[in-house]
Amino acid sequence: MRRLPALLLTLLPFALSCATATLHAREVAEPAAHVDADGPYLFRDGTQLHARWVCDDRVVERELEAGDVATVAPQCGYAHAVRVPAAATAAAAVLPAAARIVAVSDIHGQYGLLVKLLRAHHVIDDADRWALGSDTLVVAGDVFDRGPQVTEAFWLLYGLQQQAAAAGGAVHFVLGNHETMVLYDDLRYVNPKYLRSAQLLGRSYPQLYGADSVIGQWLRTRPVLLRIGDTLFLHGGIAPEALQLALAPEATNAAYRASLGRPRAELKADPATAPLYDGKTSPIWYRGYFDGRLDSAGVQEVLDRLGLARIVVGHTSMPHVSSFHGGRVVAIDSSIKKGENGELLFIEDGRLSRGLLDGSRVPLAEGRAGLED
């Protein structure tokens, strides 16, 4: 191999660091000039529920009595009525096996595509109501950021969770890194529409999901780790270095819930929360199943320690719902964020398949790594 000149060798690390900084640098967007429709944003104040929308770039407000259950009729933005129970309760970390599980992740504001995909597989009906009976839907994080219909996606999942419970089924939303990012005020990926909505509503974007908001309260009760039978669902993955977090899932979920909304620098500096937010090894950021850090034997060791058959993750974008490491890891971020296509994972009595946008079902794709965030 030809030797590089000494000066080039000296400059190479600096050049690489500059290139890396350029690749990772991303500015917060300027707010959009106009918002056609967004909302509702619902805030609790004692027994009052404050409902606010942005319709044709103007704020519309309504006051309601909260009561045991409040129903908020649509104004603009989300097209369905929103039913708001008195309070959200913390989700369990470990649940018994379910005969049929449907899973999806990384919606990133692509509400229309999500609805099309769920309708195609009869998870919801033509009126966007729960149609899966006693079965289970898992959403493995990242509703926030990028796309233009984040608000609608959250309200859809919020309502489906109630409808599924009434039918004997379940909807589980697992927090992703973009949920934590927005809540600690990292707005680099926020769609400009929402920065304009925040301006008009007189709050910062994270404050629209503060602890006094209905969706903010709901997010603060969601898990990061969810085990259903022999399958673990989470956004990023379990690194061997962070195995203890998965061995104590209830404690880990409680720690995440308590940390939501704290400043990023504070979370990184606090030894109690730093492992939860480590960009390489935390459950919401890990990519080691796909970037060569962990081989199949290493994955099997993690599964053995946790008593699992498989781990299902989002976060790392793929062209298809894909099987890695001999089926030990299933990647379900099927690049819905691009707004062009998406897939569902089906787990039915241990049999795995993927559902396509046309409603058909096919085997899982064989994994081919992709490292988008």
Q: Per-domain residue ranges for the chain?
A: 86-366
Max CA separation in the chain (angstroms)? 76
Number of C-alpha atoms within 13 angstroms, CB side, residue 99? 6
3-state secondary structure the chain: CCCCCHHHHHHHHHHHHHHHHHHHCCCCCCCCCCCCEEEEEEEEECCEEEEEEEECCEEEEEEEECCCEEEECCCCCCCCCEEEECCCCCCCCEECCCCEEEEECCCCCCHHHHHHHHHHCCCECCCCCECCCCCEEEECCCCCCCCCCHHHHHHHHHHHHHHHHHCCCEEEECCCHHHHHHHCCCCCCCCHHHHHHHHHHCCCCHHHHCCCEHHHHHHCCCCCCEEECCEEEECCCCCHHHHHHHHCHHHHHHHHHHHCCCCHHHHHHCCCCHHHHCCCCCCCCCCCCCCCCCCHHHHHHHHHHHCCCEEEECCCCCCCCEEEHHHCEEECCCCHHHCCCCCEEEEECCEEEEECCCCCEECCEECCCCCCC
Residue 185, pLDDT score: 97
Residue 137, pLDDT score: 98
Residue 10, pLDDT score: 33
Tokens matching residue 163: 């409808």
Kindly list the distances between the CA atom of residue 32 and the CA atoms of 4, 122, 179, 315, in Å, as whole numbers in the listed order: 48, 35, 21, 27
Asked if 64 contacts 70 with a C-beta cutoff of 8 angstroms, the reply is yes
Please tell me the total number of residues recorded for the chain in this structure.
Answer: 373
**One pLDDT digit (tens) per residue for the chain, 373 residues:** 333 333 333 333 333 333 333 334 689 999 999 999 999 999 999 889 999 999 999 999 999 988 889 999 999 999 999 999 988 889 999 999 999 999 999 999 999 999 999 999 999 999 999 999 999 999 999 999 999 999 999 999 999 999 999 999 999 999 999 999 999 999 999 999 999 999 999 999 999 999 999 999 999 999 999 999 999 999 999 999 999 999 999 999 999 999 999 999 999 999 999 999 999 999 999 999 999 999 999 999 999 999 999 999 999 999 999 999 999 999 999 999 999 999 999 999 999 999 999 999 999 999 975 454 5
What value, to the nearest 5°, has the Cα angle with vertex 208 and ends 157 and 202? 145
Tokens matching residue 254: 């409680």
Residue in this structure with the two tokens 């008009």, named with its chain if needed: 200
Residue 337, pLDDT score: 97
Domain 86-366 architecture: 4-Layer Sandwich (3.60)
Give the pTM.
Answer: 0.92
Residue 369, pLDDT score: 55
Residue 320, C-beta contacts closer than 8 angstroms, at least 6 positions apart: 334, 343, 354, 364, 365
Number of C-alpha atoms within 13 angstroms, CB side, residue 252? 26
Nearest-angstrom CA–CA distance, 140 and 223: 10
Nearest-angstrom CA–CA distance, 218 and 39: 16
